[in-house]
């Protein structure tokens, strides 16, 4: 969420900066609501002040056993008036809040202008894409004889899930262990374990709700007000139930960013406690609504995948240095594995809703003959922190101020496995296991059909 004060005082400027990312801010509507809010809020506050004053005088009069009939007569007329004005104010503020929650973050000035992913700017490359003296296969074909099974997953669940067996499953797990150890031991992150289901407030905090509910898997959990409400809902579809039923549904996390960043929701952190750096492995669940037909082959785009996530909570003035560090930490994984990659700065048009600046790390995939996203590292500045009410006590001002939040994959395990299968395959259809993973594999050097 943007700073409401910024919208009040520099509305046109905000609109101009949002236009860079292709977002049209409805300036007229916001201005109009804002004017109404101001006048009604003033009204309400004057009525409240009068009510407080009268209540005090009545109390004093009664204590002295004096007659308070006149005062009580005036006070008796106030509640109805107040109630009306308060209702109006609530409605306007709710409308403003709703609008604000749907406004994306302002892009940082260093973000290149652009319309879509074609305008992203390459920052650097690392490593050389491997040369093959045979036609390299994609991971689906390489994995077919090594324990990568899509048909089994379709049977037990459906499309966009995968089953792995034997050494391949172990390699997948080894990747996760390796990443966790690297970030925890060498990069100074604290490992955390968190819930895989979260409440709506957490998703609102990190920005997935209210706008992107369709991307999430929801676990319905309804609470009924009374017996009549239970009866009313019998046999109805969940979506059609609303009256007398409170929605306390959980959601499967789309990324560890949600539970981990929400660790600091509603907290005021001491300056000495910053920066906080977390590394966390979780499964991620995404509905992939709207991506029909995209990446249907293989395990590039799944409803369920494993990821090791990096999250940093930092002082505002340090957040851009932290973004460089966090990105470098994620890159280190690929360097240790020996996988070629490049880093691109997303352009304004390709930026995610909550991000002020994002670097994507793209790994080389021989099966697709191009670089594919394997990590996305973002600085959200205070956009998430404001929704989260995540603050720190700034010694300079002595006041609680919003922190800056960052996160990035370090890395997506499924896609990293894909990269290993494709980059390290040989002519026999075997896959060489990167040396850094061998300690996690009982010394195994290659994946072979025998297992």
Q: Which residues lie near RNA (CB under 7 A)?
A: 4-5, 8, 38, 41-42, 44-46, 48-49, 51-56, 58-60, 62-63, 72, 75-76, 78-79, 223, 225, 246, 248, 268, 391, 399-400
Closest contact distance (angstroms) between CB of 58 and RNA is: 4
What backbone phi and psi angles, to 5 degrees, belong to 316? -55, -45
CB 258 within 8 A of CB 208: yes
By beta-carbon proximity to RNA, the closer residue of 42 and 296 is: 42
- Give SS3 for 342: strand
Q: Which residues pair with 218 in a beta bridge?
A: 251
Closest contact distance (angstroms) between CB of 34 and RNA is: 8
CB 347 within 8 A of CB 377: no
Closest contact distance (angstroms) between CB of 380 and RNA is: 19
Closest contact distance (angstroms) between CB of 264 and RNA is: 13
What backbone phi and psi angles, to 5 degrees, belong to 353? -50, -45
By beta-carbon proximity to RNA, the closer residue of 69 and 214 is: 69
Q: How far is CA 371 from CA 142, 237, 267, 368, in A?
A: 19, 44, 40, 8
Picking from 160, 123, 113, the residue whose alpha carbon sits closest to that of residue 17 is 113
286 is catalytic: yes
Number of Cβ within 10 Å of residue 216's Cβ equals 20
415 is catalytic: yes
376 is catalytic: yes
By beta-carbon proximity to RNA, the closer residue of 71 and 168 is: 71
By beta-carbon proximity to RNA, the closer residue of 213 and 401 is: 401
Q: Which of 286, 386, 387, 391 is catalytic?
A: 286
Sheet with 400-402, edge to edge strand ranges: 268-270, 391-393, 400-402
Number of Cβ within 10 Å of residue 403's Cβ equals 28
Closest contact distance (angstroms) between CB of 398 and RNA is: 7
By beta-carbon proximity to RNA, the closer residue of 45 and 296 is: 45
Q: Which of 50, 51, 301, 372 is catalytic?
A: 301
Burial class (CB in 10 A: 0-12, 13-18, 19+), 357: buried
Closest contact distance (angstroms) between CB of 373 and RNA is: 35
By beta-carbon proximity to RNA, the closer residue of 111 and 253 is: 253
Q: Which of 319, 375, 376, 378 is catalytic?
A: 376
Q: Which of 17, 21, 387, 415 is catalytic?
A: 415
Q: How far is CA 90 from CA 386, 388, 397, in A?
A: 20, 21, 32
* Catalytic machinery residues: 286, 301, 373, 376, 415
């Amino acid at each position: 969420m943007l700073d409401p004060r910024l919208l009040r005082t520099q509305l046109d400027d905000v609109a101009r900066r949002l236009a860079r990312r292709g977002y049209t801010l409805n300036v007229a509507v916001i201005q109009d609501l804002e004017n109404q809010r101001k006048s009604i809020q003033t009204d309400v506050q004057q009525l409240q002040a009068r009510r407080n004053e009268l209540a005090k005088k009545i109390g004093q009069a009664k204590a002295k056993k004096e007659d308070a009939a006149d005062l009580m007569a005036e006070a008796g007329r106030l509640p109805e008036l107040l109630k009306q004005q308060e209702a109006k104010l609530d409605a306007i503020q709710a409308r403003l809040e709703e609008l604000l929650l749907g406004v994306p973050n302002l892009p940082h000035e260093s973000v290149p202008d652009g319309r879509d992913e074609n305008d992203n700017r390459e920052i650097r490359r690392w490593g050389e894409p491997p040369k093959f003296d045979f036609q390299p296969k994609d991971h689906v074909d390489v994995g077919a004889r090594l324990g990568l099974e899509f048909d089994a997953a379709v049977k037990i669940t459906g499309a966009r899930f995968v089953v792995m067996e034997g050494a391949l499953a172990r390699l997948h797990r080894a990747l996760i262990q390796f990443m966790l150890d690297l970030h925890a031991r060498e990069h100074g992150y604290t490992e955390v374990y968190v819930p895989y289901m979260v409440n709506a407030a957490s998703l609102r905090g990190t920005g997935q709700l209210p706008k992107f509910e369709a991307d999430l898997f929801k676990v319905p959990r309804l609470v009924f007000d009374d017996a009549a409400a239970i009866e009313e809902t019998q046999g109805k579809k969940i979506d059609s139930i609303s009256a007398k039923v409170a929605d306390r549904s959980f959601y499967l996390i789309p990324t560890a960013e949600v539970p981990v960043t929400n660790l600091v929701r509603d907290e005021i952190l001491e300056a000495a406690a910053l920066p906080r750096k977390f590394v966390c492995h979780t499964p991620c669940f995404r509905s992939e609504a709207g991506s029909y037909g995209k990446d249907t082959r293989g395990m590039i785009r799944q409803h369920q995948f494993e990821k090791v996530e990096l999250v940093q909570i930092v002082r505002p003035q340090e957040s851009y240095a932290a973004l460089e560090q966090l990105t470098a930490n994620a890159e280190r994984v690929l360097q240790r594995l020996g996988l070629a990659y490049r880093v691109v700065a997303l352009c304004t048009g390709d930026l995610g809703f909550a991000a002020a600046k994002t670097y994507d790390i793209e790994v080389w995939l021989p099966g697709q003959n191009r670089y594919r996203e394997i990590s996305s590292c973002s600085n959200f500045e205070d956009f998430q922190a404001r929704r989260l009410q995540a603050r720190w006590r700034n010694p300079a001002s002595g006041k609680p101020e919003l922190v800056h939040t960052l996160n990035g994959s370090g890395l997506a395990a499924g896609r990293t496995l894909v990269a290993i299968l494709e980059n390290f395959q040989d002519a026999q259809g075997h896959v060489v296991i990167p040396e850094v993973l061998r300690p996690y594999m009982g010394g195994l050097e290659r994946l072979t059909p025998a297992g």
